[in-house]
Amino acid sequence: MRNQIILFGWITLLLFPLPGFYLQYYFNDVSFVEFISLKDFKPVPIVYGLQFGVFYAFIAYLFMKAPFFDKVPVKVNKLVHNMKLSVFDGLFLSLCAGVGEELLFRQGIQSFTGVIFTSILFVALHGYLNPFNLRFSVYGLIVLPFILLISYGLDSFGIWFCISAHFAYDAVLFTFMIREGNVLETIKKEQI
């Protein structure tokens, strides 16, 4: 399962940006270099994004630990643990999602569909706005402000702010879930 997840990471990193790029190329005559905004690859927006992503991940993690989420049928932390990912794997997947998904949604789609619709679409496609699962939907409502804020941040801080915020958010949550799973596994082994 781990290899499939890593492969999906590569697909997200390399293929997800392509539809966004083609939309911008076809309708707005944007070159690939303009699309990835290398000129905006500057430390300040990246550091702001990293700080914001870490901050919001801590908030989301605290919400995820609330008793309300104990009854989620498939807990994300258990899924992550079952994948047998290392912390490095989690960081790699976070980088893939940060780059691939932000280039697709923020840089590619958002200029056509607007901030609010694109943000809701983004959260919904991740399965967090699920009318059949209230708890997932509540988590989606926790994540939605984060996505809205980085979406609005695109105009002021650029795509690299969005990418770094997304990366940091995912990296913190992956790290917590991987470490938490490793601790639980160690405790189980010691009890045997």
Q: And the tokens for 54?
A: 């870490």
**Is pLDDT larger for residue 2 or for residue 157?**
157
Q: Can you tell me the mean pLDDT for 66-88?
A: 77
Torsion of the alpha carbons at 86, 50, 109 and 25, rounded to the nearest 10: -100
Q: What is the pLDDT of residue 190?
A: 61
Average confidence score pLDDT of the chain = 91
Between CA 89 and CA 6 the distance in angstroms is 8
User: Domain-by-domain residue ranges, the chain?
Assistant: 2-191
Q: What is the pLDDT of residue 132?
A: 85
Instruction: Kindly state the percentage of the chain with pLDDT values over 70.
Output: 91
pLDDT band at 179 (very low <50, low <70, confident <90, very high): confident
Q: Can you tell me the mean pLDDT for 120-124?
A: 96
Between CA 159 and CA 42 the distance in angstroms is 11
pLDDT tens string 63-73: 888 888 777 65
Q: What is the pLDDT of residue 75?
A: 60
